[in-house]
Structure 1
Amino acid sequence: MKILKVAEGVSIKRSIEAGTSEQQEVVKAVIANIRSRGDEALREYTEKFDRVLLDSFFVNEKEINEAYEQVDEQFISIVQEAAENIRKFHEKQLRPSWMTTEENGTILGQKMTPLDSVGVYVPGGTAAYPSSVLMNVIPAKVAGVKRIVMVSPPDREGKIPAAVLVAAKEAGVKEIYKVGGAQAIAALAYGTESIASVDKITGPGNIYVALAKREVYGDVDIDMIAGPSEIAILADETARADEVAADLLSQAEHDPRACSVLVTPSHKLAEEVSQEVEKQLALLPRKEIAAQSINDYGAIYVTADIEEAVETVNQLAPEHLEVITENAMELLGKIRHAGAIFIGRYSSEPVGDYFAGPNHVLPTNGTARFSSPLNVDDFQKKSSVIIYSEKALKDNGEKIAAFARMEGLEAHARAVEIRLENDRK
């Protein structure tokens, strides 16, 4: 891995989510075609991109049962336990509606309402992602969303991986469709004969999925435009080089564009981790992907001291941040920007990916500066409640009317004044 000084500049940001002009045009054409031709276009795109012709996109109960037969009992047990951990964590995020009564009798409040429907995209391709199912579906279920639709691209036999279907069943999904890519996002946003539209779309995908989500935003809500996975590790001389290297590679194997960064004040650790990454890289089944990621986006930044290391991490605003230092908890309050923070040697990033309970759908590409992990709030909306009392309107009505006239809105002012006049009669 490249070993750099912070003075040479730090970077984890990439603008690849914008796509090329050709990719943007392809996505726009796909969306327009789905909107105008529905299932017919969806079937054509599935045959073209997934190389399978489907009579029905819906995953039936027989296919779910077959999926359970293809996985072992241990996997089912692990999924169930992970799902329970995720559920418990997200239940703590649930916010109630509230009301407060003022001395003059006015009641103000906030009503929390779950979204009616949500579409969850689960990527296919080079790996199966049952964890993505749990992380997207369970917060929606906790929030009270009644209709949750899952879409995922089929393989050439017209099937979704068994592990993904089992995870969906365990999470409580009842509506699953074998569609992927930009065409799936368009179907969720605008509906077809087979798939009714939803109010929000969540879940990661390739560049075409990301561009499609960006394109439909406004007609429906989306969670975020997620980029390739990122990890930054803040470590000092107390960290083990082999463990740090393993954690860096855990993200590098995701995607050739994934970014793995070590920030340390220790020159010795920097050298040891660099050597250890090369050593472990040779043993990975996905070594070509991981090697390209490390070569193109991996780096080790050496800082003057731990304070500079913390500030460097805040500049990076990484998706995942591990802190493996002496007295690591003392640094937590100084970290301002990170999607998820893993404290201590035993908090390896995969613990959060699969099992601990916090959500693994996290802000990427520096957006941790202003955004948060996927959470229950993402599946609820808030309505303000205003019950103004007679006394409050008498006390404040003239002020409200004056404010309206200050903005040149006479009808606003009169809407208040007519009530004051009527009560004087």
Structure 2
Amino acid sequence: MDFDMLGLAPRLLAKLPELGISDPTPIQTQAIPHALNGRDVMGLAQTGTGKTLAFGLPLLDALMKNGSKPAPRTVRGLVLAPTRELAKQIADNLKPFTHGTHLKVGIVVGGAGIHGQIQRLERGTDLLVATPGRLIDLIDRRAVDLSQAQFLVLDEADQMLDLGFIHALRKIAPLLAKKRQTMLFSATMPKQMAELSSAYLNDPVRVEVSPPGKAADKVTQEVHFIEQSNKTGKLIDLLKSHRSELALVFARTKHGSDRLMRQIERAGVDAVAIHGNKSQGQRERAIRDFRDGRIKVLVATDVAARGIDIPGVAFVYNYDLPNVPENYVHRIGRTARAGKEGQAVALCAPEEMGDFRAIEKVMKLSVPVASGQPWEVSGTSPAGRTRRRGGGNGGGGHKGGAPRVGKPANSGAPSGKPQRRRRRAGGGGR
């Protein structure tokens, strides 16, 4: 199906080829017609599948057809995103479609000067992209009026739940116009998502193009079972084996990210770190240097798992495994973008074995082993999930994880470049 068959305004269709966009992705093909008809939409698709235009194009189409200009401090449409990076990415993707029109796309995020944001909001905004925390600050200062907003989009809604933004959403949503169109997009479908949908969507159309918990089909995965104390050396050896390619490394904590970045740099590999303690300017410079290839290694916490759209990322390393298994899917979704192939490498320490088994359970696959042997774990995690010897569906990780019962027969972890020809794990469309 072509874009011109979806019913979009000619002005938007004319912009697509200028921006190098030819054919709609599956999520766009399914979601756009329903959104143009004014239906509430719940879209489920993995990262990198074109969700931004799936809701952004029909949203801009409706705003263009309305023709009116927003009153001072008012907003006509609102997009909520869980992280600054994702909010900026959404705004950057949509702004080119408004060139030459009366529409104004604004963005408000934490880590940036609030007074400048207040001044820009004073003029009125057609479409505002915001992180919940900063938007609440602006609402409390009476700098923005949402009563005229007839469109609401919740992007990466599952991560909003993970980050505790549900309380902010409960405060924000009632401030919008009662008669509105709401769209919710997510990469996974946790139990709370159904509750979120019933609370904020009215008879929504559900569109799904990739089963939740599945990795992109061009991501090749592997795991190294290795002691925590040996992880840094192993990671550095792997990074040195592909110096010319971009690698994204995930660590669990802010301080851990900085420490790991310094260790990588001392080993002679240029690296930069981003996390919640960095200012917005620092984060943007780091991502720009990484995207442009001036820095080959970006060390990040999960703040970057959903806000980085860089087609050139060839490797994703899970230096620390995530406590939430769905976050693993989001992390490795940073590679194999724009039709390219990518490699996802996990480093699993004994205390992370429960987290690793939980990841495999969610993804419904066994990740190929590159070195070492699976750790044996037993006991019960603080969350009450039983970990059985050799596997199970546990969790916990570093925080109160079950004790290690045994060691693998072969704990050595030979260094070297990950094997790109290793069989692909995971499936599902992009």
TM-score range, shorter chain: under 0.3
**Higher RCO structure, 1 or 2 (CA under 8 Å, sep 6+):** 1
> What TM-score do you get using the length of structure 2 for normalisation?
0.26
Flag the structure with higher helix content: 1
| Bigger-Rg structure (1/2) | 1
> What TM-score do you get using the length of structure 1 for normalisation?
0.27
